[in-house]
Amino acid sequence: MCSDQNHITGSISNHLENGQNDPICVAVTIDINDISDGALKVLKQIKPFWPINNVQFKIFTNGTTNKLIGCCIPKHNNNDEIPLGGEDNLNRYEVILIRIYGKNTEVLIDRQKEVENFKSLHRYGFAPKLLATFNNGLAYEYTDGKPLSKSDVYDEQIWRKIAQRMAEMHRDIDCVPLNEPVLWKKINKFFDLIPTKYSNPVTQQRREELLPPIHEIRAEFNRLYAVVSKIKSPVVFAHNDLLLGNILYDTSAEIVTFIDYEYADYNFQAFEIGNHFTEFAGMTDIDYTLYPPKEYQLDWLREYLTHYHKHDSSVVTDEYVHQLYADVNKFALVAHFFWLIWGHIQAEHSEIDYDFLEFASLRYNEYLAKRDAFLSL
């Protein structure tokens, strides 16, 4: 992670200012079994005046890719220890977040590009400040807010702010013709990373029980690609992973923030939105009946387009909204493919306690259930 490379192709890199936004590079590898020791070594570099003995740790999430912890000290210097408690109490603390990468996630994620995206998005006002990189993770400023629940995305006050924030991100970060969408290249790369045979025989057996052979899945994807690749969706700078846990809502400030930029890149506008809609089902107790109905989507898309086009009502016509609706749902099918392939790879490499093959199976079955209806739109 500690590298002298500061280059990223595309116009987003032009927004950086000669290294002034560069994080500190700390030559530390944090042991997942002794997080506090490694975290303190990183903190000593980025917060040398913190009273290290007073630091409290809070695990925010174990995630399906990484582990995220908060390093917290009371904002007011006194001898009274403030109970850490839940997120509602964190406004009494100064908090630094430390994200530790999951094992072998570099096969899926370009970590150097993630760092450059993080810095650039901060410059544009879409991300907190990145404070440090270390050998197997990042340290950055804390952002107020709670991850969304499955019901939050149906709260009109919240979903309108999500649509607005996404539109601002897609609109305000310039995209030039040279910025090719990452989607097809990434999916082909993921297909190539699927093991021909899993190293764990139990995993191999489970894969055979839950899913058809890879050559059948690839053939199905090729049929989908033949249709969806013809869609003329605009290319934007996209987050590409707007699941519920990557969207924070600050109730007091009524602000939505997107976090975690591992998959951020130039991509199709309709994929970003369709992928977000598939995530309404959640990552635990997955429930695809929560995929948003047409009426909800049309309202959401109109809100998005209104902000994307800076409230130019002459542009945002009913025909435009309905066309985006059709494109979004077709790209939602691609999103299912993207993550079911990802699940195959994680099943081989990840040490996180999550059933990646069941996840892949649920994604594939949902794709099959919705395929004909969505492709007919």
CATH of the domain at 123: 3.30.200
Q: Scanning the structure block, which residue is given the tokens 């500190």? A: 24
pLDDT average, residue stretch 109-124? 90
Residue 240 CA, distance from chain mean position: 6
Beta carbons of 192 and 186 less than 8 angstroms apart = no
Return all residues near 248 (Cβ < 8 A) that are at least 6 apart: 143, 144, 145, 146, 147, 148, 256, 257, 258, 259
The DSSP 8-state label assigned to residue 202 in this structure reads H
219 with 323, same domain: the answer is yes
Is the pLDDT at 89 greater than 80? The verdict is no
Neighbours of 260 (CB within 10 A): 22
pLDDT average, residue stretch 64-83? 70
Is the pLDDT at 107 greater than 80? The verdict is yes
197 with 286, same domain: the answer is yes
Can you give the residue range of the structural domain that contains 167?
147-375
Q: Given 115, 142, 169, which residue is the final one in a domain?
A: 142
Beta carbons of 6 and 19 less than 8 angstroms apart = yes
Is the pLDDT at 8 greater than 80? The verdict is no
Q: Given 142, 167, 198, which residue is the final one in a domain?
A: 142
Neighbours of 23 (CB within 10 A): 20
Return all residues near 365 (Cβ < 8 A) that are at least 6 apart: none
pLDDT tens for each residue of 268-298:
999 999 999 999 999 999 999 999 999 999 9
Using DSSP, state whether 237 is helix, strand or coil.
strand
Give the strand pairing for 130-134 and 24-26: parallel
pLDDT tens for each residue of 209-246:
999 999 999 999 999 999 999 999 999 999 999 999 99
Q: Which long-range contacts (CB under 8 A, 24 or more apart) does 192-201 make?
A: 193/107, 193/108, 193/345, 194/341, 194/344, 194/345, 195/344, 195/348, 198/347, 198/348, 199/348
Does the CA dihedral 243-246-252-255 come out positive or negative?
negative
Helices (H), the chain: 35-46, 111-124, 156-172, 183-193, 201-210, 214-228, 269-278, 294-308, 318-349, 356-375
User: Does some domain include residue 5?
Assistant: no
Distances (CA, A) of 127 to 93, 206, 318, 354: 20, 39, 33, 28
67 with 117, same domain: the answer is yes
- Residues 324, 320: Cα–Cα separation, whole Å: 6
Window from 77-86, 150-159, 287-296, 349-358 with minimum mean pLDDT? 77-86
- Residues 265, 40: Cα–Cα separation, whole Å: 32
Is the pLDDT at 19 greater than 80? The verdict is no
Q: Given 91, 113, 142, which residue is the final one in a domain?
A: 142
pLDDT average, residue stretch 189-217? 96
DSSP codes joined into one string, 107-155: GT--HHHHHHHHHHHHHHTSS--EEEEETTEEEEE----EEPPTTGGG-
258 with 237, same domain: the answer is yes
The pLDDT score that the predictor gives to residue 86 is 52
115 with 191, same domain: the answer is no
* Residue 87 binned pLDDT confidence (cut-offs 50, 70, 90): low
172 with 292, same domain: the answer is yes
205-238 burial, b if ≥16 CB within 10 A, otherwise e?
ebbeebbeeeeebeebbeebbeebeebebebbbb
Total domains in the fold of the chain: 2
Residue 27 CA, distance from chain mean position: 26
One-letter identity of residue 63: G
Distances (CA, A) of 324 to 327, 330, 335, 340: 5, 10, 16, 24
Q: Which position has the higher pLDDT, 270 or 59? A: 270
Phi, psi of 141, deg, nearest 5: -70, 150
196 with 316, same domain: the answer is yes
Window from 31-35, 275-279, 322-326 with minimum mean pLDDT? 31-35
The pLDDT score that the predictor gives to residue 14 is 44
- Model pTM score: 0.89
Q: Which position has the higher pLDDT, 165 or 109? A: 165
Q: Which position has the higher pLDDT, 78 or 246? A: 246
Is the pLDDT at 335 greater than 80? The verdict is yes
Neighbours of 3 (CB within 10 A): 10
The pLDDT score that the predictor gives to residue 77 is 59
Burial of 36 (0-12, 13-18, 19+ CB in 10 A): middle
259 with 130, same domain: the answer is no
